[in-house]
Amino acid sequence: MRRLLTVLAAGVPLAAAVCLPTASAETRDGSAAAPFACSAPSVKAPAGTEVESVTAVRQEGGTIIGTGALGGSVSGVPAYCEVTVTLTHPGDNDHARVRTWLPVSGWNGRFQGLGGAAYLAGDNGVGLGTAVKNGYAAVSTDAGVGDALDTSWALDSEGQVNTALLENFASRSQHEAAVVGKEVVDAIYGKRPAYSYFTGCSTGGRQGYMEAQRYPDDYDGILADAPAVNWDEFEVATLWPQVVMNNEKTYPSKCEFDAFTNAAVKACDSLDGVKDGLVNDPSRCDFDPRRLIGTKVVCEGRELTITAADAAVVRKIWDGPRTPSGKKLWYGVPVGADISALAGADPFQVPAAWVKLWVAKNPSLDLSTITYSQFTQLFKQSQAEYDKVIGTDDPDLSAFRKSGGKLLTWHGLADQYIPTQGTVHYREKVERELGGTKRVDDFYRLFLAPGTNHCGLNGADGSTDGLAALTAWVEHGKAPKTLPATLINADGQSVTRDLCTYPQVSRYKRYGDPAVASSFKCVSPSRH
Protein backbone atom coordinates (compact mmCIF):
# COMPACT_ATOMS: atom_id res chain seq x y z
CA MET A 1 0.00 0.00 0.00
CA ARG A 2 1.39 3.34 -0.98
CA ARG A 3 -0.16 6.50 0.33
CA LEU A 4 0.75 10.11 0.86
CA LEU A 5 -0.89 11.29 4.04
CA THR A 6 -1.36 15.03 4.09
CA VAL A 7 -3.24 17.07 6.61
CA LEU A 8 -5.05 20.31 6.03
CA ALA A 9 -4.17 22.46 8.99
CA ALA A 10 -5.39 26.06 8.92
CA GLY A 11 -6.07 25.56 5.24
CA VAL A 12 -2.45 24.72 4.43
CA PRO A 13 -1.33 21.21 3.37
CA LEU A 14 1.20 19.77 5.80
CA ALA A 15 4.62 18.94 4.40
CA ALA A 16 4.58 15.64 6.08
CA ALA A 17 4.10 12.26 4.62
CA VAL A 18 4.19 8.83 6.07
CA CYS A 19 6.31 6.70 3.80
CA LEU A 20 4.59 3.36 3.41
CA PRO A 21 6.94 1.10 1.45
CA THR A 22 5.34 -2.00 0.04
CA ALA A 23 8.05 -4.60 -0.40
CA SER A 24 7.05 -7.75 1.41
CA ALA A 25 9.77 -9.95 -0.14
CA GLU A 26 10.09 -13.60 0.72
CA THR A 27 10.66 -14.84 4.26
CA ARG A 28 14.38 -15.03 4.94
CA ASP A 29 14.77 -18.13 7.07
CA GLY A 30 11.33 -19.58 7.61
CA SER A 31 8.73 -18.07 9.91
CA ALA A 32 9.64 -17.55 13.50
CA ALA A 33 8.38 -20.36 15.71
CA ALA A 34 4.69 -19.74 16.41
CA PRO A 35 2.84 -19.32 18.63
CA PHE A 36 5.15 -17.14 20.69
CA ALA A 37 4.61 -15.47 24.03
CA CYS A 38 3.64 -11.80 23.79
CA SER A 39 5.02 -10.81 27.18
CA ALA A 40 7.09 -7.87 28.36
CA PRO A 41 10.75 -8.73 27.79
CA SER A 42 13.68 -7.59 29.86
CA VAL A 43 15.21 -4.63 28.02
CA LYS A 44 18.72 -3.31 28.56
CA ALA A 45 18.75 0.49 28.46
CA PRO A 46 20.72 2.01 25.55
CA ALA A 47 23.76 4.05 26.56
CA GLY A 48 22.78 7.30 28.31
CA THR A 49 19.21 6.21 29.04
CA GLU A 50 17.14 4.50 31.71
CA VAL A 51 14.18 2.23 31.02
CA GLU A 52 11.09 3.59 32.78
CA SER A 53 8.64 0.89 31.76
CA VAL A 54 8.08 -2.07 29.41
CA THR A 55 4.64 -3.36 28.40
CA ALA A 56 3.47 -5.99 25.93
CA VAL A 57 -0.04 -6.33 24.48
CA ARG A 58 -1.27 -8.80 21.87
CA GLN A 59 -3.30 -6.94 19.22
CA GLU A 60 -5.67 -8.67 16.82
CA GLY A 61 -4.81 -6.39 13.89
CA GLY A 62 -7.51 -5.67 11.30
CA THR A 63 -7.79 -2.01 10.30
CA ILE A 64 -5.35 0.43 11.91
CA ILE A 65 -6.50 4.06 12.05
CA GLY A 66 -3.61 6.52 12.09
CA THR A 67 -3.48 8.85 15.08
CA GLY A 68 -3.04 12.62 15.11
CA ALA A 69 -3.16 15.18 12.31
CA LEU A 70 -1.88 12.80 9.62
CA GLY A 71 -4.67 10.25 10.06
CA GLY A 72 -4.87 7.62 7.35
CA SER A 73 -5.54 3.91 7.72
CA VAL A 74 -4.33 0.46 6.71
CA SER A 75 -6.53 -2.64 6.58
CA GLY A 76 -5.80 -6.35 6.61
CA VAL A 77 -3.15 -6.11 9.33
CA PRO A 78 -2.54 -9.54 10.93
CA ALA A 79 -2.32 -10.15 14.68
CA TYR A 80 0.79 -8.65 16.26
CA CYS A 81 2.50 -8.18 19.59
CA GLU A 82 2.97 -4.53 20.58
CA VAL A 83 5.88 -3.94 22.95
CA THR A 84 6.22 -0.39 24.32
CA VAL A 85 9.44 0.66 26.04
CA THR A 86 9.57 4.11 27.66
CA LEU A 87 13.06 5.63 27.95
CA THR A 88 14.34 8.68 29.79
CA HIS A 89 17.69 10.46 29.75
CA PRO A 90 18.61 11.04 33.41
CA GLY A 91 18.44 14.74 34.25
CA ASP A 92 16.48 15.65 31.10
CA ASN A 93 12.99 14.84 32.43
CA ASP A 94 11.98 13.37 29.05
CA HIS A 95 9.89 10.29 28.30
CA ALA A 96 10.38 8.74 24.86
CA ARG A 97 8.06 5.89 23.87
CA VAL A 98 9.54 3.21 21.62
CA ARG A 99 6.90 0.95 20.08
CA THR A 100 7.84 -2.35 18.43
CA TRP A 101 5.19 -4.30 16.52
CA LEU A 102 5.94 -7.98 15.87
CA PRO A 103 3.78 -10.24 13.65
CA VAL A 104 2.41 -13.20 15.63
CA SER A 105 3.08 -15.42 12.60
CA GLY A 106 4.76 -15.05 9.22
CA TRP A 107 7.69 -12.87 10.30
CA ASN A 108 9.99 -12.51 7.28
CA GLY A 109 13.14 -12.24 9.42
CA ARG A 110 13.51 -8.53 8.69
CA PHE A 111 13.35 -5.41 10.88
CA GLN A 112 12.08 -1.98 9.82
CA GLY A 113 12.57 1.35 11.58
CA LEU A 114 10.07 4.07 10.66
CA GLY A 115 10.64 7.81 10.51
CA GLY A 116 8.36 10.76 11.17
CA ALA A 117 6.81 13.81 9.51
CA ALA A 118 7.15 17.56 10.18
CA TYR A 119 7.57 17.76 13.99
CA LEU A 120 6.31 14.20 14.53
CA ALA A 121 9.37 12.07 15.33
CA GLY A 122 7.89 8.70 14.42
CA ASP A 123 5.01 6.80 12.89
CA ASN A 124 1.30 7.30 13.69
CA GLY A 125 0.42 3.61 13.36
CA VAL A 126 -0.23 3.35 9.63
CA GLY A 127 3.39 2.68 8.71
CA LEU A 128 3.81 0.18 11.55
CA GLY A 129 0.64 -1.62 10.44
CA THR A 130 1.80 -1.68 6.82
CA ALA A 131 5.20 -3.09 7.84
CA VAL A 132 3.58 -5.85 9.92
CA LYS A 133 1.21 -6.62 7.04
CA ASN A 134 4.28 -7.14 4.85
CA GLY A 135 5.94 -9.48 7.35
CA TYR A 136 8.32 -7.07 9.07
CA ALA A 137 8.92 -6.53 12.76
CA ALA A 138 8.84 -2.72 13.00
CA VAL A 139 9.84 0.01 15.44
CA SER A 140 9.03 3.68 15.88
CA THR A 141 9.68 6.31 18.56
CA ASP A 142 7.83 9.47 19.55
CA ALA A 143 11.13 10.92 20.89
CA GLY A 144 9.17 12.40 23.80
CA VAL A 145 7.75 15.18 21.58
CA GLY A 146 4.27 15.73 20.10
CA ASP A 147 2.25 15.41 16.91
CA ALA A 148 3.19 16.74 13.46
CA LEU A 149 2.30 20.37 14.14
CA ASP A 150 2.75 20.30 17.93
CA THR A 151 5.68 22.54 18.86
CA SER A 152 4.65 23.10 22.48
CA TRP A 153 7.89 21.36 23.51
CA ALA A 154 10.21 23.80 21.73
CA LEU A 155 10.79 26.23 24.61
CA ASP A 156 10.96 25.57 28.33
CA SER A 157 9.17 27.54 31.05
CA GLU A 158 11.87 30.20 30.92
CA GLY A 159 11.55 30.67 27.14
CA GLN A 160 14.81 28.85 26.40
CA VAL A 161 15.14 26.12 23.74
CA ASN A 162 14.54 22.66 25.23
CA THR A 163 17.85 21.26 24.05
CA ALA A 164 17.19 17.75 25.40
CA LEU A 165 13.98 17.29 23.41
CA LEU A 166 15.57 18.90 20.34
CA GLU A 167 18.41 16.39 20.58
CA ASN A 168 15.85 13.59 20.90
CA PHE A 169 14.01 14.82 17.80
CA ALA A 170 17.19 15.53 15.84
CA SER A 171 19.16 12.34 16.42
CA ARG A 172 19.41 10.27 19.55
CA SER A 173 15.87 8.88 19.90
CA GLN A 174 15.90 7.35 16.41
CA HIS A 175 19.14 5.52 17.21
CA GLU A 176 17.83 4.35 20.57
CA ALA A 177 14.70 3.00 18.86
CA ALA A 178 16.90 0.90 16.55
CA VAL A 179 18.80 -0.52 19.53
CA VAL A 180 15.67 -1.24 21.59
CA GLY A 181 13.65 -2.58 18.67
CA LYS A 182 16.26 -5.16 17.72
CA GLU A 183 16.60 -6.18 21.36
CA VAL A 184 12.83 -6.70 21.58
CA VAL A 185 12.84 -8.76 18.35
CA ASP A 186 15.58 -10.97 19.79
CA ALA A 187 13.70 -11.41 23.07
CA ILE A 188 10.33 -12.26 21.47
CA TYR A 189 11.48 -14.39 18.52
CA GLY A 190 14.64 -15.81 20.04
CA LYS A 191 16.84 -14.46 17.25
CA ARG A 192 17.97 -11.15 15.86
CA PRO A 193 16.75 -9.86 12.47
CA ALA A 194 18.58 -11.17 9.41
CA TYR A 195 18.39 -7.67 7.85
CA SER A 196 17.47 -4.24 9.21
CA TYR A 197 15.98 -1.40 7.16
CA PHE A 198 14.98 2.19 7.84
CA THR A 199 12.20 3.91 5.87
CA GLY A 200 11.08 7.52 5.95
CA CYS A 201 10.11 10.56 3.91
CA SER A 202 10.51 14.28 4.71
CA THR A 203 11.41 14.38 8.42
CA GLY A 204 11.71 10.60 8.12
CA GLY A 205 14.09 11.06 5.19
CA ARG A 206 16.26 13.35 7.28
CA GLN A 207 16.29 10.77 10.08
CA GLY A 208 17.49 8.16 7.60
CA TYR A 209 20.41 10.36 6.56
CA MET A 210 21.15 11.05 10.22
CA GLU A 211 21.37 7.30 10.84
CA ALA A 212 23.81 6.87 7.93
CA GLN A 213 25.95 9.79 9.16
CA ARG A 214 25.99 9.18 12.92
CA TYR A 215 25.01 5.55 13.53
CA PRO A 216 26.27 3.68 10.44
CA ASP A 217 25.82 0.22 11.98
CA ASP A 218 22.12 0.57 12.88
CA TYR A 219 20.69 -0.41 9.48
CA ASP A 220 21.76 -2.50 6.47
CA GLY A 221 19.61 -0.42 4.15
CA ILE A 222 18.09 3.06 4.40
CA LEU A 223 15.25 4.33 2.22
CA ALA A 224 15.25 8.09 2.88
CA ASP A 225 13.00 10.04 0.50
CA ALA A 226 12.49 13.80 0.00
CA PRO A 227 14.88 14.14 2.94
CA ALA A 228 14.68 17.22 5.17
CA VAL A 229 18.49 17.47 5.32
CA ASN A 230 20.02 20.97 5.53
CA TRP A 231 17.21 21.53 8.07
CA ASP A 232 18.79 24.67 9.53
CA GLU A 233 18.89 26.24 6.06
CA PHE A 234 15.78 25.09 4.20
CA GLU A 235 13.39 25.63 7.14
CA VAL A 236 14.24 29.32 7.05
CA ALA A 237 14.48 29.36 3.24
CA THR A 238 10.92 28.08 2.86
CA LEU A 239 9.67 31.25 4.60
CA TRP A 240 11.18 33.27 1.72
CA PRO A 241 8.00 33.37 -0.43
CA GLN A 242 6.16 35.08 2.44
CA VAL A 243 9.03 37.54 2.97
CA VAL A 244 9.07 38.39 -0.74
CA MET A 245 5.31 39.03 -0.92
CA ASN A 246 5.33 41.14 2.25
CA ASN A 247 8.33 43.23 1.19
CA GLU A 248 7.06 43.72 -2.37
CA LYS A 249 3.51 44.27 -1.05
CA THR A 250 2.23 42.02 -3.84
CA TYR A 251 0.10 38.95 -3.13
CA PRO A 252 -0.74 36.91 -6.25
CA SER A 253 -3.67 34.49 -5.87
CA LYS A 254 -3.29 30.72 -6.18
CA CYS A 255 -4.64 30.70 -9.72
CA GLU A 256 -2.17 33.44 -10.73
CA PHE A 257 0.68 31.40 -9.27
CA ASP A 258 -0.69 28.36 -11.12
CA ALA A 259 -0.68 30.34 -14.38
CA PHE A 260 3.07 30.95 -13.99
CA THR A 261 3.72 27.31 -13.11
CA ASN A 262 1.67 25.98 -16.02
CA ALA A 263 3.35 28.35 -18.47
CA ALA A 264 6.81 27.31 -17.26
CA VAL A 265 5.97 23.60 -17.51
CA LYS A 266 4.62 24.14 -21.04
CA ALA A 267 7.71 26.10 -22.08
CA CYS A 268 10.21 23.59 -20.66
CA ASP A 269 8.30 20.35 -21.27
CA SER A 270 10.12 19.42 -24.48
CA LEU A 271 13.66 19.81 -23.08
CA ASP A 272 13.82 16.00 -22.79
CA GLY A 273 12.96 15.56 -26.45
CA VAL A 274 9.19 15.19 -26.27
CA LYS A 275 6.10 17.02 -24.98
CA ASP A 276 4.83 14.67 -22.28
CA GLY A 277 3.54 16.98 -19.54
CA LEU A 278 6.69 16.50 -17.42
CA VAL A 279 9.76 18.69 -16.89
CA ASN A 280 12.67 16.29 -16.51
CA ASP A 281 15.25 18.85 -15.40
CA PRO A 282 13.70 22.00 -13.86
CA SER A 283 17.17 23.42 -13.16
CA ARG A 284 17.53 23.90 -16.96
CA CYS A 285 14.15 25.62 -17.28
CA ASP A 286 14.86 29.29 -17.98
CA PHE A 287 11.27 30.44 -18.44
CA ASP A 288 11.03 34.15 -17.67
CA PRO A 289 7.87 34.98 -15.68
CA ARG A 290 7.80 38.44 -17.27
CA ARG A 291 6.49 36.74 -20.41
CA LEU A 292 3.09 36.54 -18.70
CA ILE A 293 2.78 40.27 -17.96
CA GLY A 294 -0.57 41.47 -19.31
CA THR A 295 -2.04 37.96 -19.54
CA LYS A 296 -5.65 37.59 -18.35
CA VAL A 297 -6.40 34.89 -15.75
CA VAL A 298 -9.88 33.92 -14.57
CA CYS A 299 -9.90 33.35 -10.80
CA GLU A 300 -13.15 32.22 -9.18
CA GLY A 301 -15.18 34.01 -11.79
CA ARG A 302 -13.08 37.21 -11.74
CA GLU A 303 -10.76 38.19 -14.57
CA LEU A 304 -7.34 39.29 -13.32
CA THR A 305 -4.42 40.69 -15.28
CA ILE A 306 -0.89 39.48 -14.50
CA THR A 307 1.23 42.49 -13.54
CA ALA A 308 4.95 43.21 -13.61
CA ALA A 309 4.86 43.10 -9.79
CA ASP A 310 3.36 39.57 -9.89
CA ALA A 311 6.10 38.42 -12.25
CA ALA A 312 8.80 39.97 -10.04
CA VAL A 313 7.47 38.07 -6.99
CA VAL A 314 7.44 34.74 -8.85
CA ARG A 315 10.93 35.36 -10.19
CA LYS A 316 12.27 35.92 -6.66
CA ILE A 317 10.45 32.85 -5.28
CA TRP A 318 11.85 30.58 -8.02
CA ASP A 319 15.30 32.09 -7.65
CA GLY A 320 15.35 31.50 -3.88
CA PRO A 321 16.53 33.54 -0.91
CA ARG A 322 19.33 36.05 -1.33
CA THR A 323 20.98 38.62 0.89
CA PRO A 324 20.15 42.31 0.26
CA SER A 325 23.43 42.51 -1.70
CA GLY A 326 22.37 39.61 -3.93
CA LYS A 327 24.36 36.70 -2.50
CA LYS A 328 22.45 33.41 -2.84
CA LEU A 329 21.53 31.81 0.49
CA TRP A 330 19.54 28.72 -0.58
CA TYR A 331 17.44 27.23 -3.34
CA GLY A 332 13.99 28.42 -4.31
CA VAL A 333 10.71 26.65 -5.02
CA PRO A 334 11.40 24.36 -8.01
CA VAL A 335 9.84 25.41 -11.33
CA GLY A 336 6.80 23.17 -11.72
CA ALA A 337 6.03 22.95 -8.00
CA ASP A 338 2.92 24.46 -6.38
CA ILE A 339 4.10 27.97 -5.39
CA SER A 340 1.00 28.62 -3.27
CA ALA A 341 1.98 25.89 -0.78
CA LEU A 342 4.53 28.31 0.70
CA ALA A 343 3.03 31.53 -0.66
CA GLY A 344 -0.50 31.12 0.72
CA ALA A 345 -2.47 33.61 2.77
CA ASP A 346 -0.69 32.36 5.90
CA PRO A 347 2.89 31.14 6.35
CA PHE A 348 3.34 27.37 6.24
CA GLN A 349 3.37 26.24 9.88
CA VAL A 350 6.57 24.16 9.84
CA PRO A 351 9.06 26.91 8.87
CA ALA A 352 6.97 29.52 10.72
CA ALA A 353 7.37 27.57 13.96
CA TRP A 354 11.07 26.98 13.36
CA VAL A 355 11.81 30.67 12.85
CA LYS A 356 9.61 31.90 15.71
CA LEU A 357 10.50 29.35 18.37
CA TRP A 358 13.95 27.89 17.72
CA VAL A 359 15.62 30.78 15.92
CA ALA A 360 14.01 33.98 17.29
CA LYS A 361 12.83 32.27 20.53
CA ASN A 362 9.85 34.58 20.37
CA PRO A 363 6.44 32.89 19.94
CA SER A 364 4.78 36.26 19.26
CA LEU A 365 7.17 37.32 16.48
CA ASP A 366 5.21 38.91 13.63
CA LEU A 367 6.60 37.15 10.56
CA SER A 368 4.85 39.58 8.21
CA THR A 369 7.21 42.40 9.27
CA ILE A 370 10.50 40.60 8.46
CA THR A 371 12.65 42.68 6.09
CA TYR A 372 15.13 41.20 3.61
CA SER A 373 18.05 42.07 5.90
CA GLN A 374 16.33 40.57 8.96
CA PHE A 375 15.63 37.43 6.93
CA THR A 376 19.35 37.13 6.15
CA GLN A 377 20.17 37.51 9.86
CA LEU A 378 17.65 34.80 10.82
CA PHE A 379 18.99 32.48 8.11
CA LYS A 380 22.59 32.87 9.31
CA GLN A 381 21.56 32.55 12.96
CA SER A 382 19.77 29.27 12.22
CA GLN A 383 22.89 27.97 10.46
CA ALA A 384 25.20 29.02 13.29
CA GLU A 385 23.06 27.59 16.11
CA TYR A 386 21.62 24.44 14.57
CA ASP A 387 23.73 23.07 11.71
CA LYS A 388 25.61 20.68 14.01
CA VAL A 389 22.40 19.79 15.90
CA ILE A 390 19.91 19.07 13.12
CA GLY A 391 21.51 20.11 9.80
CA THR A 392 22.07 16.42 8.97
CA ASP A 393 24.34 17.36 6.06
CA ASP A 394 27.68 15.78 7.02
CA PRO A 395 29.02 14.43 3.71
CA ASP A 396 31.38 11.93 5.32
CA LEU A 397 29.51 8.64 4.82
CA SER A 398 32.72 6.58 4.85
CA ALA A 399 31.73 4.67 8.01
CA PHE A 400 28.34 3.78 6.49
CA ARG A 401 30.06 2.61 3.30
CA LYS A 402 32.55 0.59 5.33
CA SER A 403 29.71 -1.07 7.28
CA GLY A 404 28.25 -2.34 3.98
CA GLY A 405 25.15 -0.14 4.25
CA LYS A 406 23.09 0.96 1.25
CA LEU A 407 21.28 4.32 1.01
CA LEU A 408 18.53 4.89 -1.55
CA THR A 409 16.65 8.17 -2.05
CA TRP A 410 14.05 9.52 -4.42
CA HIS A 411 13.03 13.16 -4.44
CA GLY A 412 10.25 14.82 -6.45
CA LEU A 413 11.40 17.51 -8.86
CA ALA A 414 8.19 19.45 -8.10
CA ASP A 415 8.59 19.29 -4.31
CA GLN A 416 6.72 22.31 -2.98
CA TYR A 417 8.12 22.10 0.56
CA ILE A 418 11.74 20.89 0.43
CA PRO A 419 13.76 22.28 -2.50
CA THR A 420 15.04 19.30 -4.51
CA GLN A 421 18.34 21.06 -5.23
CA GLY A 422 19.24 20.83 -1.53
CA THR A 423 19.33 17.03 -1.82
CA VAL A 424 21.33 17.29 -5.06
CA HIS A 425 23.74 19.68 -3.32
CA TYR A 426 24.24 17.17 -0.48
CA ARG A 427 24.83 14.27 -2.88
CA GLU A 428 27.47 16.34 -4.73
CA LYS A 429 29.19 17.11 -1.41
CA VAL A 430 29.36 13.37 -0.70
CA GLU A 431 30.90 12.78 -4.13
CA ARG A 432 33.59 15.38 -3.44
CA GLU A 433 34.24 13.87 -0.01
CA LEU A 434 34.37 10.22 -1.08
CA GLY A 435 35.99 10.23 -4.50
CA GLY A 436 33.43 10.80 -7.23
CA THR A 437 30.15 9.55 -8.65
CA LYS A 438 31.17 5.94 -9.31
CA ARG A 439 32.51 5.30 -5.81
CA VAL A 440 29.45 6.86 -4.18
CA ASP A 441 27.07 4.92 -6.45
CA ASP A 442 28.48 1.73 -4.90
CA PHE A 443 26.44 2.42 -1.76
CA TYR A 444 24.30 5.57 -2.23
CA ARG A 445 21.96 6.28 -5.14
CA LEU A 446 19.68 9.24 -5.74
CA PHE A 447 16.70 9.27 -8.13
CA LEU A 448 14.83 12.44 -9.12
CA ALA A 449 11.15 12.14 -10.06
CA PRO A 450 9.78 14.60 -12.67
CA GLY A 451 6.49 16.33 -11.89
CA THR A 452 6.35 14.79 -8.41
CA ASN A 453 5.43 16.74 -5.30
CA HIS A 454 6.52 16.31 -1.68
CA CYS A 455 6.69 12.60 -0.84
CA GLY A 456 4.46 12.15 -3.90
CA LEU A 457 5.63 8.68 -4.92
CA ASN A 458 3.88 7.36 -1.83
CA GLY A 459 0.65 7.47 -3.81
CA ALA A 460 -0.61 11.03 -4.21
CA ASP A 461 0.90 11.80 -7.61
CA GLY A 462 2.72 8.63 -8.43
CA SER A 463 4.19 5.51 -6.91
CA THR A 464 7.31 3.41 -6.74
CA ASP A 465 8.55 0.55 -4.59
CA GLY A 466 11.80 1.86 -3.20
CA LEU A 467 11.92 -0.76 -0.45
CA ALA A 468 11.82 -3.61 -2.99
CA ALA A 469 14.76 -2.02 -4.83
CA LEU A 470 16.62 -1.54 -1.56
CA THR A 471 16.12 -5.13 -0.33
CA ALA A 472 17.31 -6.48 -3.70
CA TRP A 473 20.41 -4.29 -3.40
CA VAL A 474 21.18 -5.20 0.22
CA GLU A 475 20.38 -8.91 0.07
CA HIS A 476 21.26 -9.84 -3.51
CA GLY A 477 23.77 -7.17 -4.53
CA LYS A 478 21.50 -5.90 -7.33
CA ALA A 479 22.20 -2.16 -7.40
CA PRO A 480 19.23 -0.31 -8.95
CA LYS A 481 20.24 1.23 -12.29
CA THR A 482 16.78 2.78 -12.54
CA LEU A 483 13.78 3.03 -10.25
CA PRO A 484 10.53 2.05 -12.04
CA ALA A 485 7.78 4.53 -11.19
CA THR A 486 4.32 5.69 -12.15
CA LEU A 487 4.13 9.48 -12.48
CA ILE A 488 1.23 11.87 -13.05
CA ASN A 489 1.84 14.40 -15.83
CA ALA A 490 0.53 17.97 -16.19
CA ASP A 491 -2.68 16.66 -17.79
CA GLY A 492 -3.38 14.37 -14.83
CA GLN A 493 -2.54 11.22 -16.80
CA SER A 494 -0.56 8.29 -15.39
CA VAL A 495 2.68 7.56 -17.24
CA THR A 496 5.41 5.03 -16.49
CA ARG A 497 9.02 6.13 -16.17
CA ASP A 498 12.29 4.55 -15.14
CA LEU A 499 13.79 7.19 -12.84
CA CYS A 500 17.46 7.64 -13.66
CA THR A 501 20.35 7.36 -11.21
CA TYR A 502 21.60 10.90 -10.53
CA PRO A 503 23.28 12.63 -12.33
CA GLN A 504 21.74 10.96 -15.38
CA VAL A 505 18.53 12.36 -16.85
CA SER A 506 15.75 10.81 -18.92
CA ARG A 507 15.58 11.50 -22.65
CA TYR A 508 13.03 10.49 -25.25
CA LYS A 509 14.35 7.97 -27.82
CA ARG A 510 12.44 9.81 -30.62
CA TYR A 511 10.08 6.91 -31.12
CA GLY A 512 7.47 5.08 -29.05
CA ASP A 513 4.61 6.07 -26.78
CA PRO A 514 5.64 9.00 -24.52
CA ALA A 515 3.44 7.51 -21.76
CA VAL A 516 5.63 4.38 -21.56
CA ALA A 517 9.00 4.07 -19.81
CA SER A 518 10.59 2.06 -22.64
CA SER A 519 10.38 5.13 -24.92
CA PHE A 520 13.03 6.88 -22.79
CA LYS A 521 16.67 6.26 -21.96
CA CYS A 522 18.95 7.59 -19.23
CA VAL A 523 21.78 9.81 -20.51
CA SER A 524 24.41 11.95 -18.86
CA PRO A 525 23.43 15.64 -18.65
CA SER A 526 26.38 16.64 -20.86
CA ARG A 527 24.88 14.68 -23.75
CA HIS A 528 21.39 15.91 -22.99
Does residue 182 fall inside a structural domain?
A: yes
pLDDT given for residue 3 in this prediction? 31
* pLDDT per residue as tens digits for the range 152-164: 999 999 999 999 9
In a domain, 37, yes or no: no
Check: CB of residue 143 under 8 Å from CB of residue 68. no
Judgement on whether residues 251 and 399 belong to the same structural domain of the protein: no
Residue 5 located in a structural domain = no
- Mean pLDDT along residues 226-246: 98
Has residue 24 got a pLDDT over 50?
no
Domain enclosing residue 302, as ranges = 234-389
Among left, alpha and beta (phi > 0; psi -120 to 50; other), residue 196 is beta
Task: State the Cα–Cα distance between residues 382 and 367, nearest whole angstrom.
Answer: 15
Q: What is the CATH number of the domain that holds 134?
A: 3.40.50.1820
Closest CA to 130 of 261, 256, 23, 25: 23
Q: How does the average pLDDT of the chain come out, rounded?
A: 93
What are the pLDDT digits (tens) for 313-368? 999 999 999 999 999 999 999 999 999 999 999 999 999 999 999 999 999 999 99
Same domain for 167 and 260?
A: no
Residues 62, 156 within the same domain: yes
Q: Is residue 200 domain-shared with residue 321, that is, in the same domain?
A: no
Q: With cut-offs at 50, 70 and 90, classify the pLDDT of residue 526.
A: low
- Considering the domain architecture, whether residues 76 and 218 belong to the same structural domain is answered as yes
pLDDT tens digits, 110-164: 999 999 999 999 999 999 999 999 999 999 999 999 999 999 999 999 999 999 9
Give the count of alpha carbons within 13 A of 192, CB side only.
9
More confidently predicted of 526 and 19 = 526
Position 272 confidence tier, pLDDT thresholds 50, 70, 90: confident
Residues 282 and 203 in one domain: no
386-389: long-range contacts at Cβ-Cβ below 8 A with a sequence spacing of 24 or more? 386/231, 386/232, 386/358, 386/359, 387/232, 387/233, 389/166, 389/167, 389/170, 389/232
CB 145 within 8 A of CB 153: yes
Q: State which of 366, 389, 412 marks the end of a domain.
A: 389
Length of the chain: 528
CB 418 within 8 A of CB 330: no
Domain assignment of residue 518, yes or no: yes
191 secondary structure, DSSP code: S
Q: Measure the CA–CA gap between 6 and 72, rounded to whole angstroms.
A: 9
Q: What is the DSSP letter of 215?
A: -
The average pLDDT across 423-435 equals: 98
Q: What's the pLDDT tens digit per position in 366-421?
A: 999 999 999 999 999 999 999 999 999 999 999 999 999 999 999 999 999 999 99
Kindly report, residue by residue over 476-520, the tens digit of the pLDDT.
999 999 999 999 999 999 999 999 999 999 999 999 999 999 999
Would you please indicate which residues are annotated as catalytic (active-site) residues? Answer: 202, 415, 454
Residues 378 and 395 in one domain: no
pLDDT above 50 (res 65): yes
Check whether residue 306 and residue 402 sit in a common domain: no
SS3 for 302?
strand
Q: Are residues 242 and 373 in the same domain?
A: yes
Indicate if the pLDDT at residue 440 is higher than 60: yes
Which whole-number Å values give the CA distances from 300 to 180, 252, 255, 271, 294, in the listed order? 54, 14, 9, 33, 19
Q: At what angle do helices 240-248 and 372-386 cross, to 10 degrees?
A: 160
277 located within any domain: yes
Q: Model confidence at 527, in pLDDT bands (50, 70, 90)? A: very low
Q: Which amino acid is at 115?
A: G
Model confidence over 66-96: pLDDT tens digits? 999 999 999 999 999 999 999 999 999 999 9
Is residue 156, in this structure, part of any structural domain at all?
yes
Does 20 or 90 have the greater pLDDT score? 90
Residue 424 covered by a domain: yes
Burial of 319 (0-12, 13-18, 19+ CB in 10 A): middle
pTM: 0.94
d(CA 69, CA 82): 22
Q: Tell whether 268 and 406 lie within a shared domain.
A: no
Same domain, 280 and 258: yes
202, part of any domain: yes
List the one residue out of 419, 420, 397, 425 whose CA is nearest residue 410: 420
Confidence at 35, pLDDT banded by 50, 70, 90 = low
Q: Which of 350, 368, 389 is the last residue of a domain?
A: 389
The Cα 463–Cα 456 span in angstroms is 7
Domain boundary at 389, 405, 433, which? 389
Asked if residue 413 and residue 361 are part of one domain, the reply reads no
Please state the domain count of the chain. Answer: 2
Q: What is the DSSP string of 303-340?
A: EEE--HHHHHHHHHHHH--B-TT--B-S--PPTTS-GG
CA atoms within 13 A on the CB side of 465: 11
pLDDT of 12 higher than 90: no
